[in-house]
Amino acid sequence: MAFELPDLPYAQDALAEHGMSKETLEFHHGLHHKAYVDNGNKTIAGTEWEGKSLDSIVTGSYQSGAVAQNGVFNNASQHWNHCQFWEMMGPGNSSMPSELESRIKDAFGSTDSFKEQFVAAGVGQFGSGWCWLVANAGGELEITKTENGVNPLCFGQTALLGCDIWEHSYYIDFRNKRPAYISNFLDNLVNWENVAQRLG
Ligand code: MN3
């Protein structure tokens, strides 16, 4: 099944008043994500990966570790990451559902402490990557950071929330201010209903 660029689940200008401009989404969804889709399809054509599910391409190519397959992994994982990322945001100013809030308080002490630790993880990732709230294999919540396209699927974790900390995600709106971008993401952009649904 070929990769396809999904439509955004909201209008391109829907997040502008929440700190993610139409211009950012034009570039980030329309050009960057599309490039992962197009390059992924070129890289996978005619290989053992063609016809496999996106999840199995991500985990299989990561585990294989073969240098020749880096293009497969990088494009497939970034396609998966961005599909999640668009769904994890919304224009609705959602509040945290109570079950998610209590799980976060149990794991991190308070929602403020969770946010501080999430921002610190994102700021602490040197270079491009992602920071995540995951449920680990034991079902416990953890904050993690990953480089480039690596994601929680690679470690058997469930991605509850992911923040893209490649510069293309924030440079138009926040210039070099990654901490402000991540704080704004948590305070104004996250669709917490979507995050809670991922708890299963
Ligand atoms: Mn990106």
The string of pLDDT tens digits covering residues 126-163 is 999 999 999 999 999 999 999 999 999 999 999 999 99
Would you state the structure tokens that stand for residue 63, as one six-digit string?
A: 């585990």
Question: How far apart are the CA of 110 and the centre of ligand 1, in A?
Answer: 29
Integer angstrom CA distances of residue 120 from 59, 142, 144, 145: 27, 13, 10, 10
Residue 16: Cβ within 10 Å count: 16
Question: How far apart are the CA of 102 and the centre of ligand 1, in A?
Answer: 30
pLDDT at residue 64 greater than cutoff 90: no
Residue 186 amino acid letter: L
pLDDT at residue 67 greater than cutoff 80: no
Question: How far apart are the CA of 83 and the centre of ligand 1, in A?
Answer: 10
pLDDT at residue 23 greater than cutoff 80: yes
Angle at 177 between CA 176 and CA 182, to 5 degrees: 130
Question: How far apart are the CA of 47 and the centre of ligand 1, in A?
Answer: 25
Question: How far apart are the CA of 166 and the centre of ligand 1, in A?
Answer: 6
Would you state the structure tokens that stand for residue 198, as one six-digit string?
A: 């991922």
For 26-62, the pLDDT digits (tens) are 999 999 999 999 999 999 999 999 999 999 999 999 9
| Calpha distance 94→191 (Å, rounded) | 6
Question: How far apart are the CA of 79 and the centre of ligand 1, in A?
Answer: 9
Band of residue 68 on the pLDDT scale cut at 50, 70, 90: low
pLDDT at residue 66 greater than cutoff 70: no
Q: What is the dihedral of CA 128, 193, 135, 184, to 10 degrees?
A: 30
Question: How far apart are the CA of 85 and the centre of ligand 1, in A?
Answer: 9
Average the pLDDT over 154-178 and give the result.
98
The backbone region for 57, taken as left when phi is positive above 0, alpha when psi lies in -120 to 50, beta otherwise, is alpha
For 73-102, the pLDDT digits (tens) are 999 999 999 999 999 999 998 899 999 999
Q: Using CB atoms within 10 A of its CB, is residue 87 exposed (0-12), middle (13-18) or buried (19+)?
A: middle
Q: Which residues surround ligand 1, an ion (CB under 5 A)?
A: 164, 166
Beta strands in the chain (DSSP E): 129-135, 141-147, 158-164
Give the three-class secondary structure for 171. Answer: helix
Mean of all residue pLDDT scores within the chain:
96
pLDDT at residue 188 greater than cutoff 90: yes
Question: How far apart are the CA of 109 and the centre of ligand 1, in A?
Answer: 30
pLDDT at 45: 94
> Would you say 74 and 148 are in contact if contact means Cβ atoms under 8 Å apart?
yes
Strands 129-135 and 158-164, sheet pairing: antiparallel
Residue 134 amino acid letter: V
> Would you say 128 and 148 are in contact if contact means Cβ atoms under 8 Å apart?
yes
Match 């570039």 to its residue by tokens.
27
Question: pTM of the predicted model, to two decimals?
Answer: 0.97
- Residue 144 phi, psi dihedral angles, 5° rounding: -135, 165
